[in-house]
Amino acid sequence: MQIPQLMHEQYCQAKELIENTSDIKVYSHIDCDGICSGAILSTILDRQNKEHEIEFVNLDVLDDIELTHELTIFSDLGSGQKIDTKAKKNQKILILDHHPPLRDLNYKNDKEYTYLEINPHHHSIDGSYYVCGGGLCYFLAKEFGYNDLSWIGVLSAIGDMQNTKTGHFEGLNEIIQQDAIDGGYLELVKNDINIYGRNTRPLFVALSYFSDVKLPITNNTNETMAILEELGIDEKHNRKTLNELTNEEKGKLFQYLMSMLTKAVPPKYIQYLPQLILGDSYTFLKEEEDSILRDGSEFSTAMNACGRNHEEKIAMEVLKGDRFVALDELEAVSKIHRTNLAKGISSVAESDETNIIELENLQYFDGTGIAPEIVGTITGMILGYCNWKKPIIGFTQTESDGLKVSLRCSRLLSYDGIHFGNIIREVAGTVGGTGGGHSMACGAYIPIDKKEKFLEEFNHKLDGKLTK
């Protein structure tokens, strides 16, 4: 895939907007993709000697936002929000977003202000798998000749889980990946065992987090230790990480996982099982070998940890090159984040009575007390405690007395062709809220008194769509 001609022309226009403006504000999302997007844009503006402000925000603050700068740039958000309702004459708006857009390509016509939206969906490119916010921002950097930022584009795609369907990057992401490889920033291993923590977690611990399908090993380190010892690839007094396994040992592990999964899923999903186990692994070659920044998955988790704890600027400074003060702060935030996640999971799934309530087509939990910024992460991690054949929804209260809604599901459900992001947007809208996101990970904000109506409508929308 190449950048479509019209999209390339838009990037030329975006470059001119930046070159001809001195008063600039950037809004970006708080997750890994959004932070990477912000870091790329900030680096572009630094190199162009453009003073600028950057703010990392949740989606719920964007509707009816006050625009107070000559040029406002929205990255990894904006397409699904009403960001221009208060735009004034001669102001300029640039959106670099990969989420489904509210407005079409002709929206810019007859406006008193400049409106430029670069969104892959306008060019028949799926923003869930072929390019993310950071990737879109990288192509703008590339227009300026800053190909050295390609590795941040790769990191954003890892954080946005753009490779979850096939285990590989496709579409425009492949261009970014190749730029990073050619520049000496990235090492790619095809079809590696795809388990988080390849450098830093003992394999028996990493394996116990397998949650796309609930297996005997899920949340059971005793079982994983026994299996690995039985396979002869781990020893009681010599625990290994995934990176320490030979290719032969990885082959044994793959075959065993395939055997377990085949017994646990309906026949129609068997063809997709290798994609739950295998996937490309990404190593950032400029990082120290023992650093949490060396492995792509762990680096992206550290970025998310900062976003979920209101420390996006720390993450951005690391991305922009600070490997001293900011890196120390990043590691401290990551530790706090892990503690908060453990407490949240314990309160929902590890108490004497589970708080997960199952309906006909979905399951949900009340996450009161869980911070809105981490309820999505916890919802995903709780998949390993419940029925993987249904999506799970987590609710928690926001500071504005609304409800934050987060949905996650097994990757297998994506092969049924269900786009939960589109469904959650529609259902949230019927109860006076807003929502959206990807097919497997999405969210919404709804009025606090509309929770039951939301659940009823969502449950109804899934009638006949799920495999029983």
The pLDDT tens digits for 141-171 are 999 999 999 999 999 999 999 998 888 999 9
CB-count exposure of residue 29 (10 Å: 0-12, 13-18, 19+)? buried
What b-and-e string marks burial along 386-399, b requiring 16 or more CB atoms within 10 Å of the CB? bebbbbbbbbbbbe
- Give me 390's structure tokens: 């249904």
Q: What is the predicted pLDDT for the residue at 61?
A: 85
Tens-place pLDDT, residues 182-191: 999 999 999 9
CA distance 35 to 50: 19
Mean pLDDT of 12-23: 97
CA distance 315 to 159: 13
In DSSP terms, 281 is beta-bridged to: 189
For the ranges 8-12, 63-67, 295-299, the lowest mean pLDDT is seen at 63-67
CA distance 327 to 318: 6
Label residue 352 by pLDDT band (50, 70, 90).
low
Q: Are 47 and 68 in contact (CB under 8 A)?
A: no
Amino acid at 194: N
Residue with tokens 């994983």: 224
CB-count exposure of residue 248 (10 Å: 0-12, 13-18, 19+)? exposed
Q: Are 467 and 436 in contact (CB under 8 A)?
A: no
Tens-place pLDDT, residues 79-100: 999 999 999 999 999 999 999 8
CA distance 325 to 147: 26
Please state the pTM of the whole predicted model. 0.88
Taking Cα atoms as reference points, which of 328, 435, 376 lies closest to residue 160? 376
Taking CB atoms within 8 Å and a gap of at least 24, the contacts of 90-93 are 90/114, 91/67, 92/17, 92/21, 92/116, 93/67, 93/117
